[in-house]
Structure 1
Amino acid sequence: MLHHLSFAVTDLERSAAFYDAVLGALGYGRVWEDETFVGYGTEAGKDVFALKLRPGNVSLPGDGFHVAFAAPSREAVDKFYEAALAHGGRDNGGAGMHPEYGPGYCAAFVMDPDGYRIEAVVAKA
């Protein structure tokens, strides 16, 4: 359904280091970049998630908004969580099984350095 999604960030270098680590844990990487933009995905030139530099001009979405990244395994969810905390992210619900969202739902919930709510999830029924 979605073609791509982008976040405005106040410090591109800091945010790119964070997303390099957390998305790298899930098998994604940088596929496009310039001085004000970093795009992530799995195929060169085809970003599906992007960071756009907007120093001093970031307005975060309110409660109820978050982005969930697909993880290939429970181990990747744990690596995502650990990488987030090691690179300036904050816990926003922990990592592990979340049966309240369905059987086999394993996820990690964090906030990135700008305060965006993100999640890594693998759900196996």
Structure 2
Amino acid sequence: MLHHLSFGVSDIERASAFYDAVLAPLGYVRVWSDLRPGESGQAVGYGAPGGGDKLALKLQPDGQRPPGPGFHLAFAAPDRAAVDQFHAAALQHGGRDNGAPGLRAHYGTYYYAAFVVDPDGFNIEAVCNAPA
């Protein structure tokens, strides 16, 4: 259904370093980059290696705000170890814990996820919905 999603970020270098780190354990990479320090219109895109972007970060230094309560973006993880690595990388790169890695039985028998808030305030999740 979705082709891609874009987040407006206040500091493109900080945001791209954060997403480089947290998406790597999930198997996603930066698939394009338009970084021109000091200029407007900078952006980066993330997706599967060799594919197009599914998440774009766009520099919005003046007044960007993440969506309110109820919005979050969940990334598919290949296994539970990747969820753990996503969470650890997020905390090491300026994210805030919003739910440590673990089973969430109320979402499903095998729903293993971690939740963080990125440096710009976006709620993101990594989830593996498979047996251990």
Same fold, TM-score > 0.5, yes or no? yes
Structure 1 unaligned blocks of 5 or more: none
| Structure 1 position 90 matched with structure 2 position 96 | yes
Q: Paired residue for 1:5?
A: 5
Counterparts of 1:1-125 in structure 2 under 5 Å?
Answer: 1-35=1-35, 36-44=42-50, 46-124=52-130
Inter-partner Cα distance in structure 2 for 1:65 and 1:95: 19
Contact 1:40-1:48 at 8 Å conserved across structures = yes
Q: How many residues align?
A: 125
CA distance 1:45–1:32, shift in 2 (3 Å): farther
Query: Which has the larger displacement, 45-54 or 60-69?
Result: 45-54
Inter-partner Cα distance in structure 1 for 2:102 and 2:119: 22
Query: Which has the larger displacement, 89-98 or 79-88?
Result: 89-98
Listed one character per residue, the Cα deviations across residues 12-50 of structure 1 (whole Å, up to 9, x for unaligned) are 000000000000010100001102010001144611111
Contact 1:9-1:54 at 8 Å conserved across structures = yes
Inter-partner Cα distance in structure 1 for 2:15 and 2:50: 20
User: For residue 30 of structure 1, what is the amino acid of its counterpart?
Assistant: R
Inter-partner Cα distance in structure 1 for 2:24 and 2:63: 27
Q: Please, what TM-score do these two structures have when normalized by structure 1?
A: 0.96
Q: CA RMSD in A?
A: 1.1
Structure 2 unaligned blocks of 5 or more: 36-41
Q: Which contiguous aligned blocks of 4+ residues in structure 1 show a shift greater than 6 angstroms?
A: none
Identity within the alignment, %: 62
Inter-partner Cα distance in structure 2 for 1:94 and 1:43: 27
Contact 1:4-1:48 at 8 Å conserved across structures = yes
